[in-house]
Chains A and B, each alone.
Chain A
């Protein structure tokens, strides 16, 4: 079943053609990888899906809905999670608060009840804390750093906190931009295991961009190859490996 479809999407910045007529579908429950050299337009695709860029031509469908007039913050509420290539955590907040922020669109506290706090807002915060502790912090093994400031953490841990924040969004589809870039072999293995667990345990569909070919071959179900804004080919990792499109890159 298709959960996300990209239909003939084109994007350009001034005279620079970033994406031309890219189409692909992502099925419910799979890990879909997008690969390609630098500047191929991979991150631009994710930005179009999450609503940060608007395509000139073409459409994006999520759970069957056309997203053309759906604003970025509403897409998050619909179940679209995101992690970023150059970590976009909030440095002035603790790990716990960063993760709680991910749950923003599932919470109801308004301005007035926030100012008053006692009562509904307090109950909601406590439920949220419990959920985050049991489902996310425990799962990603970050108990020991929950009260640390994000800016004081090592790079690999920051990536993990970012994943935690994305999980708190309770997404249907998780868009991950280079989850293991700059990590050592052990950290990469941990992250690959987490990604597989997220797919299995939480039934979250994952779209990921990555340069680490070994990891792509190991965990992804299907791969899209992108070069100069054009979709060269797509298929299973084993089927693609050794084809002329891959060799050319």
Chain B
């Protein structure tokens, strides 16, 4: 509990971590994230990397869909563009990892701007269909441009290096993922402290009045698409360097839908929501399958019945979430924080 928390400057009133308590917990979180790879096993490290890479993608989609209100069904394809760019640049042109990273982001952003072009005229479901078309076209290109993408067999790449230091296991890669997640999340959070982020939200809430308030809709919608797919591209580049291979199967339409589900479960229009949603969607299926695997040991005869249940339980969890917590995990987190705000007193 904290009291007497007065602000004397506007800067301190508008800080993201507004008091000593929240800064203290942020420090604890960083410490835990740094200790984690030294105590976690291979499996947990693998999952942590995967979750981190997914977080960057989810933050990207949330900027576009949650904040700017432009629904996209093509996010996985943008991640794919980033992944293929990274794979092609590193195998064919021998570019170093640190150069591939921004270039994959820029390539994805370029595709994002092209797909986002119609967004000035299309809204809601119509835009959704336009991005669906982009997803299908890009998927088609991944499969059929065999000379470049390796077609259905995909491509393999060698482990990435940073100044000669080879990132050949999950432990080493963890730190790259961690740094990228921190950078992307910080940049995204900063964005919404300025006029650019406010313009995104204004376009989502009332685009006509936003225009009359002096916001150039074309420019800011383009920004939203470019930024969102830039992060997707970064996520794709990390993905391919982490798994060391890439095939079109990694980026189907279903993956785009999974990203949408992520930000809805986590909380639309919330950076924290994207993080929580991405972790939820990465970790929970694994938890379910672990529990079911445990049950199979006890009831070996129920195996044929229990394994298909994974998907059903996961789907059910999402539905229950949407019914009871439409504002997502971020809202639950806010309530927990509020409860402890005056703890142990009630009012």
Interface residues of A (CB under 8 A from B): 50-52, 71-77, 82, 84, 88-93, 97, 100-105, 107, 109-111, 113-117, 121-122, 124-126, 129-130, 133, 165, 169
Contact = CB atoms under 8 A, between A and B. Distances in A.
Contacts, number: 109
B190 A116 contact: yes
Contacts of B250: none
A86 to B, nearest CB: 10
Interface of B: 10-11, 13-14, 187, 190-191, 193-199, 201-202, 204-206, 208-217, 223, 227, 269
Given A104-B195, A104-B198, A104-B214, A111 B227 contact: yes
Given A121-B194, A129-B10, A73 B205 contact: no
Nearest to B194: A114
Contacts of A114: 190-191, 194-197
Contacts of A100: 195, 198
B215 A73 contact: yes
Chain B binding surface SS class = helix
A99 to B, nearest CB: 10
A90 B223 CA distance: 20
A115 B14 contact: no
B223 to A, nearest CB: 6
Chain A binding surface SS class = helix
A111 B190 contact: no
B193 A76 contact: no
Nearest to B204: A92
Contacts of A92: 201, 204-205, 269
Given A77-B214, A104-B214, A115-B191, 14 more contacts: A50-B212, A51-B212, A72-B211, A89-B206, A90-B201, A92-B269, A100-B198, A109-B194, A113-B194, A116-B190, A117-B193, A121-B194, A124-B194, A133-B10
Given A72-B211, A92-B269, A125 B194 contact: yes
B214 A90 contact: no
B13 to A, nearest CB: 8
Nearest to B183: A115
A102 B213 CA distance: 6
Contacts of B201: 90, 92-93, 97
B10 A126 contact: yes
B214 A91 contact: no
Given A90-B206, A122-B11, A126-B11, A169 B213 contact: yes
